[in-house]
Amino acid sequence: MCRALLVASMCLLLASCGASPVRIRVTQLDGQQAGQPVRGARVRAVMLDAGTIPLPLNFDTLAEMLTKQETIAVTDRGGVARLALLRDRSQLIEVEGPLDFTGRPIPTARWLLTAESVLEPVSDNAVYRAELVP
């Protein structure tokens, strides 16, 4: 009984120190639709500098182990994607445009989301603008 209570309390503690919600707005960068939200874009976040073995064993490494290494969301009507990320880890943010069924290549843009919550462009040929939404 005591062991089960201890395990349950540890799980609750770890759940509270895990991922937190991050909202990213994606808009068109140029063209006729410049500044307009991009609806239906695929936003993927990949955790960088994440180990596969949680050593040394502490709350940070356990939270990292319990959080997905890759998270995917789709933008809504306002161009906002909601992702659950560890705020103190750097993430590669990749935005792939919505499907348009015309056979044209789908534009992709990449940013680095730093541990300080700053989005820095990685790709030079960006067709989208990404910003963190408070």
Domain count of the fold of the chain: 1
Instruction: Give the domain CATH number at 93.
Output: 2.60.40
DSSP classification of residue 103:
S
Predicted TM-score of the model (pTM): 0.72
Spell out the per-residue pLDDT of the chain, length 134, in tens: 556 444 545 554 444 446 688 999 999 887 788 889 999 999 999 888 665 555 566 666 666 565 557 789 999 999 999 998 877 778 899 999 887 777 777 788 899 998 888 888 887 767 888 999 98
- Strands of the 80-85 sheet, one edge to the other: 80-85, 20-28, 128-133
Nearest CA to 122 among 19, 45, 25, 40?
Answer: 45
Do 54 and 61 meet the contact criterion of CB atoms below 8 Å apart?
yes
User: In which domain, by residue range, is 104 found?
Assistant: 2-133
